[in-house]
Amino acid sequence: MGVASEYVSAALSVARRLATTLIRALKICVLPVTAYEEICSSPDFLGPLFLIALCALISLAQYDVVFSRVVEVEGGELVRMVTVMDVAHVLLAWRVFSMIMVWILLFVLLWVLSKVLGGDVDSYTLFSAIGYVFVVQLMLSIVDLAYTAVVMSSMPNVVVTPMRELKRELQAGLGLDLLFNLHREWLGPKRVYHWFFNLWSMVLYAVIARTASKLSWPKAAVAGFAAHLITMLASVLIGL
C-alpha cells in the first residue's frame, strides 16, 4: 500500500503540474504580461518540457496526414508507401532536439542582450520564462495540423513506383514535392498565419525581457526584436 500511495501521490503531483502548465499557457495567450510575471515569481522547467513533448507529438500527427497521400500499388491495391511508425523515432528525436536548441539559443541571446541593455538577469528565471515561448509553437502546430488536414483531404494521391536504389522515405518526399509544386495555392494562407505567429513570438520575447530581466519597455522591445531576428537567421542557416 505504501508503494501504491507513493505512485498515486507522484501521479497527482505531475497532473497538478501539467494543469498549471496549461493554465499558464492559456494566460500567455490572453494576458502575456500577467502570465510571465507569475512565471517569473515561480519558475519551473517541467512546463516547457511538457509543451515541447506536445509539439513533437503533433508533428508526428501532421507527418502522418501529409504522407497519407503518397501511395504505391501492392497486390492490385493502393497502400501507403510510408507510415508514421517507420520514422517516428527520428522525427521525435529531431523535433525535441531542435526545440531544445532553440530554447538554449534564445536564453543566450536574451541573457546577453539584457546584460548589454542594463537588465537585472536571474538565469534560472530567464531560462524558465523562455521555455514558455513554446506556447506559440504549440498553437502553430495545432493550426498547422488542422490546415494541413483540410488541404490534404482535397488533394489527389501520388502513386509512386518504388525503386530499390532509394530509401522509401526519400521517394515519398519526392512525390510530395511534386504534389506541392502542382498545388502551390495552398501555401499562401500558410505563409500568412506563420507570419502572425512569428510576430507573436517577437512580442513574447519583449515581454520576457521586460518581466524576467527588468528592462524598460523600449529596451525590452529592442531586445525582443534583436532576439527574433537572430533566431530567424539561425533557423534559416542551420535548419532549427
Which of 148, 186, 182 is CA-nearest to residue 64? 148
Considering the chain, what is the average pLDDT of its residues? Answer: 88
Confidence tier at 235 by pLDDT (50, 70, 90): confident
**Is residue 100 scored above 90 in pLDDT?**
yes
CA–CA dist 98, 96 (Å, integer): 6
Distances (CA, A) of 30 to 25, 143, 148, 216, 223: 9, 17, 26, 21, 22
Confidence tier at 113 by pLDDT (50, 70, 90): very high
pLDDT at 12: 81
Higher pLDDT, 92 or 70: 92
pLDDT at 55: 95
pLDDT at 234: 84
Q: Is the pTM of this model over 0.75?
A: yes
For the ranges 36-45, 183-192, 194-203, the lowest mean pLDDT is seen at 183-192
CA–CA dist 113, 163 (Å, integer): 51
Average pLDDT over residues 157-181: 78
pLDDT at 106: 95
Which of 45, 14, 69, 233 is CA-nearest to residue 132? 45
pLDDT at 173: 78
Question: Cβ contacts of residue 43 below 8 Å, gap of 6+?
Answer: 124, 125, 127, 128, 129
The pLDDT > 90 percentage for the chain reads 52
**Is residue 110 scored above 60 in pLDDT?**
yes
H-run or E-run covering 77: strand 77-80
pLDDT at 2: 61
**Is residue 205 scored above 60 in pLDDT?**
yes
